Structure 1
Amino acid sequence: DVLDPQIKIVAVTHITGFAEPNFQELSEENRKELESKGVAIFTGQHAFGGIGRSVRNKFGTYQVDEIIANALKTFGQGTKVAIEIAMMAADAGMVRTGEDAICIGGSGKGADTALLLQPVNTMNFFDLVVKEIICKPATKQV
């Protein structure tokens, strides 16, 4: 059950504390299983969250990052997630910018969207190229 070593797979998780303080949603058992199959795991702050979300929670006003996230959600939650994790993985150096990658996203109910894109670092968001929508739901899922 080992994945093809020629294909690099990066799993992007929520930050520890996303669901509740000091809790990581990816169990240690699942992390070990993925890593044993050659999957690299990245845990980090959402590209479209973080400080902007803190400002919204504290002061009730949206920042640019969350406005962009909500605009991308018009194509469905999975589209927003696929683009976001591409930038997060690029920022961590786990995928190369300017090279094709297939990014899979979804919602808390599972993955439903796959995009062929060229990742960029978050600071270069407007240079990101979505080359192909491989699949996405016909109706918007949030």
Structure 2
Amino acid sequence: MIPHWNRLAKPAALGLALAAATAIGGCTAPTQVTIDDAWVRMPAVPGRPGAAYFTIHGGPRPVTLIGVTSDLSIRSEMHESMSGNGMAGMRPVPKVEIPAAGEVKFAPGGLHVMLFGINPRAKKDVTFLLTFTFADGSRITHNAPSVAAADAPAG
């Protein structure tokens, strides 16, 4: 006959092992690149470009973002806002380095994706499908809800 305390020891030990594995798993490096907080600001004037914003979270090793496209625009370009000498402007950015286990934010006033030739049927509250292309050939798709030009960011 198995003593009463021994019958309880095995399930308790198993529970402790699972809890430890879960805790250790929370401390490991990310296993892949992920995207979150994606949204699109529609243009104030029809026919003008809109802008896409998001956060990219790096995976286990650095990657290079070389492009972002949208299913509802003809062309897109990564840009960076800048200011100097009392002037504000932006310039195209051919690539963006995403550090391992780091994050890069595309946000108003900083990095963003300009969306040119947005489908005229696309209005606020439409979901854009963004495709992120990396230098290693990998791609990630992510949905991005749209907001009107004067609305607060989606989220």
Q: Structures share a fold, TM > 0.5?
A: no
More helix by share: 1
Rg comparison, structure with higher value = 2
Q: Which has the higher contact order (CA 8 A, sep 6+)?
A: 2
TM-score normalised by length of structure 1: 0.28
